[in-house]
Structure 1
Amino acid sequence: MLYGVCYYPEHWPKERWPIDAALMREAGVNVVRIAEFAWSKMEPRPGEYDWSWLDEIIALLEANGIEVVLGTPTATPPKWLMDRHPDLYMKDAQGHTRGFGNRRHYCYNHAEYRRLSADIVERMARRYGGHANVAAWQIDNEFGCTDTVRCYCDHCRQAFQRWLRNKYGEIGKLNEAWGTVFWSHIYNSWEEVVLPAYTVFPMHNPGLHLDYMRFASDAVAEYQQVQVDVLRRESPDKPITHNFMGYFAEVDAFRLAEPLDFASWDNYPNLHFDEKADPLNSAVQHDMTWGLKRQPFWVMEQQSGSPGGNFIFAMPKPGELRRWTYQAVAHGADAILYFRWRTCLFGAEQYWHGLLPHDGIPGRRYEEAKRTGEELQRLSGRWLGTGAGAEVAVIRSYDNEWAMDIQPQSFGHRYMAHFKQYCRYFYDRHIPVEIVSPDMPLGRYRLVVVPHDMLTHPASAAALHAYAAAGGTVVLDFRAGIKRPDNRMEERTIPGAYRDLLGLRVADYGSLRQGDTRPVTLVRGDTAAEGHGGGVWYDIVELEGAEAVAWYASDFFADTPAVTRHAYGSGTAYYMATEPTPALMDALMDRICEGAQVEPIAGIAAPPGVEIARRTNGEKDFLFVMNHDEHSATLALEEPLDELIQGVRHAGSVRIEAGGVHVYERASLRRD
């Protein structure tokens, strides 16, 4: 497999380069990413180019058997370029110019910057596009990082107006879609339309605000396409990627991934203010990245030391780099690059630690990466190119996440927190999932979960109806079907387009105070089991063919359904009218999965804190067992299995050390 680091040769004297290359080779590194922040080194002054340093480092790495991923340098336009185009700086929602001093200091809708970006990419591609040692291209770097998607400058206002004209055709159709008669917001021309910038009590028309979020995301995709087109023309044989950011939601990653050959993402498990990283977060974001193309992905930046700018986050403990790397591989990564090779001595990331410390002397983290690389090179050929064989899909909708960001409706509630409640259930039960777009064909799955399908697109609703009718099991939940795609409320009775699928109507509803819950029972009229409750929201449901499988047990809506089940065609549709507490979620989803014949990965039983993931090629299953706990644990094997890392056969009860990793191989049990 490809195993490497992110390297910045421009940060170090040339005398150091051969030392670094030799150390990389010794650690099993066979690929590095370079140049993504080096525009001012390539073009130090307008029209003056220096490729000598890049030629030299590529040749040196090639001599050491190390390929390169070339990053296009457009995330960091040089100061001379910004001085020539001061209107290129982004503006925030209050109209303040966001000036020079960091990175990503450009507006995606600046026509001249698109031309200049195409020019530098074309020059790079003509020079290196056919180079045998170039493995791939990475476009730009982390689109939208540090709040750089939504710009409020004049270029964006004019581009937004053009985008709206293309979408609606007539200004009257825009007024109808947004309901601009409210608060006397009727527009008479496209030029009158504003951006959702700072205003009195900043609360804009929800239709305008959602369309602006869509437009801003589309602008990023269009800007990326400028570079894709150049690379396809000048370097047609090299694959193209971009490094995504998992949970990050300001850009529709499904659209951004469409023209790419494979997806990548940047994984920093300890980039949190709390000391203990939750392994669920990386697992979910790996699955999100797999779902962008439904194929193996790269981790283009894997945390290798303490992240830090002005503050330093938690240092990876011994064994964590190895375990995080195996977790990525277990969820579908076919390449791992650590960020970064050596900790920089200067600049904004001098506390962002790499495999090597500031002094450049190999230590604990280097040795751990070296050991991990040796293991993976010995074993990974068995599972490269494979997936998990997931039978469960969880739909991620950027439209619905944006709409809920605009109007959360319940204090403290967020789309992604709700989304993760489902993911945690499957993670804890060792059930593989694919996180896919609303446009993904569903027939391959036994169970489809659709969190908060608030803005109901007719095609998506029709697909869910057809999926259930053909025998699938679908889970929808509160707020489903309440809005049209233009962010207007649906005139039909809730759940709107899903009323016949779910076999119910919502007669009334309400938001609960943050942290407040109501008890929910799985037996009508009984006392709710400990921990069984619903929070955030309550729908008061009237059944129209569905049956209740859980009931509220208090308040004025006591004894009404909290969760329902409806037979539809050959399949089943469930509705959660409230946000289940973790205990209730487990009880409900256990029943739902049993009915859908969705099963955990078979063959190994493990206690909490131990993750089990799978990759399969249809003939062989590869089971990855990772102990994220601080204590050793005992695995129960249903049959003897070959453990690949240690090269031994395990049977019965097996001890896995704290932070340990086992990889087992067996004949595939995947069902058709």
Structure 2
Amino acid sequence: MYFGVCYYPEHWPEERWETDAKMMREAGINIVRIGEFAWSRMERWKGSFDFTWLDRIIGILAGEGIQVILGTPTATPPKWLMDQHPDLYMRDMYGDVRGYGNRRHYCYSNDNYLPYISTIVGKMAERYGNDPRVVAWQIDNEFGCNETTRCYCDNCKTKFQLWLMGKYQEIDHMNACWGTVFWSQIYNEWEQVIVPAYTVFPLHNPGLVLDYRRFASDAVCQFQKFQTDIIRKYAPQATITHNMMGAFNEIDAFNLSEDLDIVSWDNYPNLMFTKEVDPALAAMQHDMTRGLKQMNFWVMEHQSGQPGGNIMFPTPKPQELRRWTYQSIAHGADGILYFRWRGCLFGAEQYWHGILAHDGKAGRKYREVQQVGAELARIWPVLEGSTNKAQVAMIRSYDNEWVFEIQPHIMDYTYMGHFTSYYQSLYDNQIATDILSPQADFSGYRILVLPNFIMTTDELVAKVYEFVHAGGIVVLDYRAGAKDWHNRIEALTLPGKLSDLLGISVEEYGVLGKEEYRSIQMPGSEEVYRGATWFDVIELHGAQAVATFSEDYFSGCPAVTMNEYGKGKAYYIGTELDAKLRDDIFNRICRDAELAMSGDGIVTDSTRIEILSRFKGDQAYTFVINHSVEPVHVQITTPMYDLLSEEELHGETQLGGNGVMILCGPESNRSAILEG
């Protein structure tokens, strides 16, 4: 297991480096990420390169048995470069230049940047590409963070026009797909096509805006590939990654991950002021990252201290860092690098705290890292090679998410908020979930959930029909099938091409305002639930009502339906369900699918316990994580062995606040544990 930290040797006197490396080794750290923001230290003036300091720190780390992930420094092109090419600066939708002073201040589509990248990355790859101390490369840093993907400069407009030519071939094909006859927007030449910058209303053609989002995402993928190609020229065996951003959506991360050997993401569970951090949010983003390549992943930046730029956020409490780390591993992380080693004394992130405080002395967080490092050194020989398995897949569609950002339908509505609500129900019921691309293979799953699939393709529709016909259960909901892949409304009765599968038609629909609800009831239950945000007026054509509206002019109409199709079932949800009804509906769906729960053999009534397994062959290693500061009681119904405490457990046991157990069969790999 890679257990490490993000380190910035250029921020510290060289006489401190050996102390830091020794302290890292004593904490169990075996890998360090360096270099991703150090371009001006490597090339202070154009063509004047100095890698000797990098040689020294790599050597010092190696002397303590620590390997390196080397970052390409293209997120922070130096001032001399920007002065020579001011056209590299991004322009926002208002036409204003996003100037110097932060990071990622460059336009991804500007060809003038590429020769400089080719030089700096080429020299790094030539020098370190076959260095055994450098075990991986990170391209740039956090693509898509802080709205730095979409640029509206003239260069991007030209590149967008070329992108459209490649996609549509004929200008009138594009006009037809976008419906540019509306508001007299027909284009006669490719050079006439605009970028969706600020305009009078402002309300651009939805097809234009969607394609611009796709173009901007593709531009970042191409920018990344330019760098991976350089590294592989010198080091074809290199492991290449990029630190992605979980639920962030500026870039289609499924596309971005294709050119990578392993994906990473940056996990900051405690980045906002909330009464209680919901562990489901980090869990979901772990699952999103694992789903990008459907394989284990790394956490390239894992919160270790209190975040902060100009303001500060909450400080991690004792044992939270350890708990977050084991949650990451439970969801498939095979590498953890904490951010950051030490709080910086200067610059924009002075208040972004790390393992060490500003004084550089070992404190509570260092000792907690040391504890985790010792535990992982002992148990990883057992866990190595284990992976996650799930019977439920949620399908994340960046294209559909972008459509809801372009036209959210409802004030303050977000696709991701809706997506998260479904994930929350699965998480709360200890149901392992994969989060996949629409292009993924669905056949290995029992349940398929496609939230807000407003746009579909014939290929996707056929896959969903086939999945259900073969015995799967699909969950679709309001707006499903309303548009084609060009963001045009289909001239079909909703749910469009999915109607036969779902056994319903939607006669009409409407929105509900903030704090506006409609009552819902389920047959045989006196409980009154609520629907919000949206209502579909549904007619049944073979489906049966699972829940029914009980007020307004559509009282008596179904709110949730189920249709048997082939060997499977297709559910449809026509409103935003309240938490209780959402849980009851998903519990029913999971019973229909006869799912095996993650917590078989483990019983608790605490809502703050997370139970999730990794598997090696048929052997399960079950993580039981207490996401509260209070101890909880856990009933273990069959004898199990806890890798962390090295105790055999059976019956009732108490799991302390922020506590973790990793349970396996009582005789499982006992010799491997001792050898580790």
- Please say if 1:550 is aligned against 2:547: yes
Q: Deviations over 1:421-445 (max 9, x none)?
A: 1110111111100001001001110
1:237–1:464 distance in 2 versus 1, CA, 3 Å: same
1:520 is matched with 520
Structure 2 distance, partners of 1:648, 1:303, is: 30
Structure 1 residue 668, shift from structure 2 partner: 12
CA contact (8 A) 2:648 2:666 kept: no
Amino acid at match of 1:107: C
Deviation at 1:377, TM superposition (A): 1.4
1:656 aligns with 655
Residues 450-507 of structure 1, C-alpha deviations (whole Å, 9 max, x = no match): 0011011221111111111111111000000000100000111111110111111111
> What's the offset of the Cα at 1:387?
2.0
Hey, what does 1:506 align to over in structure 2? 506
Deviations 1:9-61 (A, max 9, x none): 00000000000000001000000000000111111111110010001111111
Preserved contact between residue 534 and residue 578 of structure 1 (Cα < 8 Å): yes
SS at match of 1:639: strand
Instruction: Assess if the C-alpha contact under 8 Å between 2:639 and 2:665 holds in 1.
Output: no
1:285-343 CA-to-partner distances (Å, cap 9, x unmatched) read 00001001111100000001010000000000000000000000000000100000011
* Structure 2 counterpart of 1:279: 279
- Establish whether residue 190 from structure 1 lines up as the match of residue 190 from structure 2: yes
**Of 584, 591, 602, which aligns to 1:587?**
584
Structure 1 CA distance, aligned partners of 2:428 and 2:373? 28
Deviation, 1:381, is 2.2
Superposed CA deviations along residues 97-155 of structure 1, whole A, max 9, x for unmatched, are: 00000000000000021232122111100000000101100000000212100100011
* SS of aligned partner of 1:640: strand
2:601 aligns with one of 603, 628, 632? 603
Say which SS state the counterpart of residue 197 (structure 2) adopts.
coil
The superposition leaves residues 200-228 of structure 1 with CA deviations (integer Å, 9 ceiling, x where unpaired) of 12111101010000110000001001011
Instruction: Report the equivalent of 1:92.
Output: 92
Contact 1:125/1:235, CA 8 A, preserved across alignment: yes
Q: Do residues 422 (structure 1) and 426 (structure 2) align?
A: no
One-letter amino acid of the counterpart of residue 502, structure 1: L
Q: Is the 8 A contact 1:270 1:276 kept in 2?
A: no
SS at match of 1:652: strand
How many Å separate the matches in 1 of 2:484 and 2:457?
7
CA offset at residue 273 of structure 1? 2.9
Match of 2:571 among 570, 574, 589: 574
> By how many angstroms is 1:194 displaced?
0.7
Q: What is the CA distance between 1:258 and its match in structure 2?
A: 0.7
The one-letter code sitting in structure 1 at the alignment partner of 2:134 is V
**2:224 aligned residue:** 224
Moved more, 121-130 or 381-390: 381-390
Which sections of structure 1, spanning at least 5 residues, go unmatched? none
Looking at structure 2, the residues matched to 594 and 89 of structure 1 have their Cα atoms a distance apart, in angstroms, of: 55
What is the SS of the residue equivalent to 1:91?
coil
Matches of 1:144 and 1:549 in 2, distance apart? 41
Asked whether the equivalents of residues 138 and 240 of structure 2 are also in contact (C-alpha less than 8 Å), the reply is: yes
Structure 1 segment 158-237 matched on structure 2, within 5 A: 158-237=158-237
Residue 372 (structure 2) pairs with residue 375 (structure 1) = no
Question: For each residue in 1:175-218, what CA deviation from the matched residue of structure 2 results, as whole angstroms up to 9, or x when unmatched?
Answer: 11111111111111111111111111211110101000011000
Distance 2:74 2:385 in 1: 31
Match of 2:32, SS state, is: strand
Query: Shift of the alpha carbon at 1:388?
Result: 2.0
In the other structure, the counterpart of 1:70 is 70
- Percent of aligned positions that are identical: 52
Mapped partners of 1:377, 1:288: distance in 2: 27
Offset at residue 275 of structure 1 (A): 4.8
- Aligned-partner residue type, residue 306 of structure 1: Q
Superposed displacement of residue 519, structure 1: 1.2
Aligned length: 666
Deviation at 1:174, TM superposition (A): 0.9
Q: CA deviation at 1:644?
A: 1.1
AA aligned opposite 1:537: W
What displacement does 1:667 show?
8.2
C-alpha distance in structure 2 between counterparts of 1:202 and 1:663, whole Å: 54
- 1:347 — aligned with what? 347
Post-superposition offset of 1:262: 0.5
Alignment check: 8 A CA contact 1:142 1:244 kept: yes
Q: Does the 8 Å CA contact 1:621/1:667 hold for their aligned counterparts? A: no
Q: CA deviation at 1:68?
A: 0.0
Aligned to 1:148: 148
Runs of 4+ that moved beyond 3 A: none
Question: How far 1:630 moved relative to its partner?
Answer: 2.4
1:70 match: secondary structure: strand
What does 1:306-321 align with in structure 2 at a 5 Å threshold?
306-321=306-321
The residue number in structure 2 matching 1:396 is: 396
Please state if 1:563 is matched with 2:560: yes
Aligned Cα RMSD in Å?
1.2
- Which residue of structure 2 lines up, in the alignment, with residue 322 of structure 1? 322
**Cα pair 1:296 1:385 within 8 Å, conserved:** no
After TM superposition, list the pairs within 5 Å mapping 1:39-118 onto structure 2: 39-118=39-118
* Contact kept? 2:144, 2:249, Cα under 8 Å: no
TM-score by length of 2: 0.97
Tell me, yes or no, if structure 1 residue 491 matches structure 2 residue 488: no
Which residue identity lines up with residue 228 of structure 1 in the other structure?
T
Q: Contact between 1:472 and 1:571, CA under 8 Å: does it hold in 2? A: yes
Pair 1:667–1:485, CA change in 2 (3 A): farther
* Partner SS state of residue 635, structure 2: strand
Correspondence for 1:250: 250
Residue in structure 2 matched with residue 619 of structure 1 by the alignment:
618
Residues in 2 aligned to 1:516 and 1:121: alpha-carbon distance in whole angstroms: 55
Cα distance in 2 between the residues matched to 1:318 and 1:202: 49
Distance 1:151 1:295, change over 3 A: same
Q: Under a length normalisation based on structure 1, what TM-score does the superposition of the two structures give?
A: 0.98
